[in-house]
Structure 1
Amino acid sequence: MSDHAIEVRGLTKRYGRRTAVEELSFDVPRGTVVGLLGPNGAGKSTTLRALVGLITPTGGDSVIDGAPFSALDNPASHVGVHMDGFGFELGITARRHLEISRLAAGAPRGRVDEVLQEVGLAADADRRVKTFSTGMAQRLGLATALVGSPRTLILDEPANGLDPDGIRWLRRFLRSFAERGGTVLVASHQLAELEQFVDEVVVIKRRALFAGRLHDLVTDDGDSLESQYFDLVGKAAA
């Protein structure tokens, strides 16, 4: 098995005359948390959607555990996904939503209670989803991603709507997930927060502007991830 949970090679996606991503390549090593960064319209969501088979690339490819998403045997055991557009049936309870997800993933019956506990929603399991705050919905989305006990998580702006305690909880949870051998690819605009817990970063603006270890981008001379990010993006726009 490769040392990389995710590999993206020359990924290109065009919509008519518009190019969303072009010749994008990067790796996500196993056991790490990797931040996917870029301005709006840079191709982050396109990249994530291509990874999990929601769109077909114009060129290049991407693999998870060495295979395209469509070729994975029991994909929910390989990768858990939470991103914009993955909505909920608002009239059902959180528990019912997760039961449906559990059945689709082929997970054992007790897994629902486990993930509710993991994300801090055990006390709200029987509330209807339509009563959830944005932060609670984010936790439910993460629980859905976890229900198949995947080795890799792909998350798009998972901290949106979380209060400061929730953001700290998410940071610790994702760090712990990686320390237990899991892998996380997380797209986010919260640069200062990401800097506290990611191992590597991938900065894109259609192409990769930087892909590597955080410490290779943010050195010890006082630079921050935010300053280095804006420097990279600014040079790409010049």
Structure 2
Amino acid sequence: MNQDAIEVRGLTKRFGRRTAVEDLSFGVARGSIVGLLGPNGAGKSTTLRAIVGLLRPTAGDCLIDGAPFSALENPATHVGVHMDGFGFETGITARRHLEIIRLAAGAPPGRVDEVLEEVGLADDAGRRVKAFSTGMAQRLGLAAALIGSPRTLILDEPANGLDPDGIRWLRRFLRGFVERGGTVLVSSHQLAELEQVVDEVIVIKRRALFAGRLDDLIRNDVDSLESRYFDLVEGAQA
């Protein structure tokens, strides 16, 4: 039996009297694109931050390649992360930003040019980040996540700010990443777009409301990811 790329086991996180997630469990199979869905305040960001070691769980475990993030040797080769709160120093160029991350990740010098090319920013490498559009900043965040040549990507709302061409590019990029042996966990509110790219879905509202294959959630031509999502979320207890 193949070990999942990401395992969340009985994750509970409390902030004082508020419970952000409670007894949450799911796995992210290798070689898949998995969508993490839920309304605002459902615990998506808390879950992602717990997985990558930015939050300490109140209870439960989060594993990447079978180990907690803090125990990974060369973590940038295991997982690349792009999420809200991972900001940029706006006064430096895109290339300088990536060079700093490359040094921290221990990646070879040529990796910066490779990731700039991968995300379509090669011609903008010398521009200061403060001049970037929201969509360009999203691509730069993805480039940073790719620096260590990770097996797994964890992305929070990566399509925000992308125009239709950019969204189509992102969809093709993620599928190509998986076809080359990678794994993706992506959180997004863009349900119609996610439906076109994910293999599996996890819907949460503090707890897991559904975790499984998209085909098992959408069982007929009338259903859509959006309709089934609202069925689950609106039917769940607050």
Instruction: Tell me the residue number matched to 2:68.
Output: 68
Instruction: Tell me the residue number matched to 1:208.
Output: 208
CA distance in structure 2 between the aligned counterparts of 1:195 and 1:230, rounded to whole angstroms: 14
Question: Residue deviations 1:32-73, cap 9 Å, x none?
Answer: 000000000000000000000001000001100000000000
CA distance in structure 2 between the aligned counterparts of 1:178 and 1:219, rounded to whole angstroms: 24
Instruction: Tell me the residue number matched to 2:132.
Output: 132
> 1:32 is aligned with what amino acid?
S
CA distance in structure 1 between the aligned counterparts of 2:17 and 2:218, rounded to whole angstroms: 36
Question: Residue deviations 1:86-127, cap 9 Å, x none?
Answer: 000001000000001001000011000000000000000000
Instruction: Tell me the residue number matched to 1:222.
Output: 222
RMSD: 0.9
Instruction: Tell me the residue number matched to 1:236.
Output: 236
CA distance in structure 2 between the aligned counterparts of 1:33 and 1:126, rounded to whole angstroms: 32
Number of positions where the alignment pairs a residue of Structure 1 with one of Structure 2 = 238
Counterparts of residues 1-238 of structure 1 (less than 5 Å): 2-237=2-237
CA distance in structure 1 between the aligned counterparts of 2:224 and 2:183, rounded to whole angstroms: 24
> What displacement does 1:237 show?
3.6
> What displacement does 1:2 show?
4.0
CA distance in structure 1 between the aligned counterparts of 2:158 and 2:93, rounded to whole angstroms: 21
> 1:195 is aligned with what amino acid?
E
> What displacement does 1:219 show?
1.1
CA distance in structure 1 between the aligned counterparts of 2:26 and 2:162, rounded to whole angstroms: 29
CA distance in structure 2 between the aligned counterparts of 1:196 and 1:237, rounded to whole angstroms: 29
Structure 2: tracts of 5 or more residues without a match? none
Contact 2:95 2:125 in 1 (8 A): yes
Question: Residue deviations 1:169-193, cap 9 Å, x none?
Answer: 0011001111111000000000000
Question: TM-score w.r.t. structure 2 length?
Answer: 0.99
Contact 2:81 2:154 in 1 (8 A): yes
> 2:147 is aligned with what amino acid?
V
Contact 2:92 2:129 in 1 (8 A): yes
> 1:19 is aligned with what amino acid?
T
> What displacement does 1:222 show?
1.8
CA distance in structure 1 between the aligned counterparts of 2:174 and 2:207, rounded to whole angstroms: 26
> 2:234 is aligned with what amino acid?
G
> What displacement does 1:131 show?
0.3
CA distance in structure 2 between the aligned counterparts of 1:69 and 1:152, rounded to whole angstroms: 12
> 1:71 is aligned with what amino acid?
A
CA distance in structure 2 between the aligned counterparts of 1:56 and 1:23, rounded to whole angstroms: 14
CA distance in structure 2 between the aligned counterparts of 1:122 and 1:12, rounded to whole angstroms: 42
The percentage of aligned residue pairs carrying the same residue is 83
Contact 1:35 1:200 in 2 (8 A): yes
CA distance in structure 1 between the aligned counterparts of 2:237 and 2:26, rounded to whole angstroms: 21
Deviating beyond 6 angstroms after TM superposition, the runs of 4 or more aligned structure 1 residues are: none
SS in 2 for 1:230: helix
CA distance in structure 2 between the aligned counterparts of 1:237 and 1:195, rounded to whole angstroms: 25
SS in 2 for 1:67: coil
> 2:106 is aligned with what amino acid?
G
CA distance in structure 2 between the aligned counterparts of 1:197 and 1:88, rounded to whole angstroms: 28
CA distance in structure 2 between the aligned counterparts of 1:17 and 1:89, rounded to whole angstroms: 35
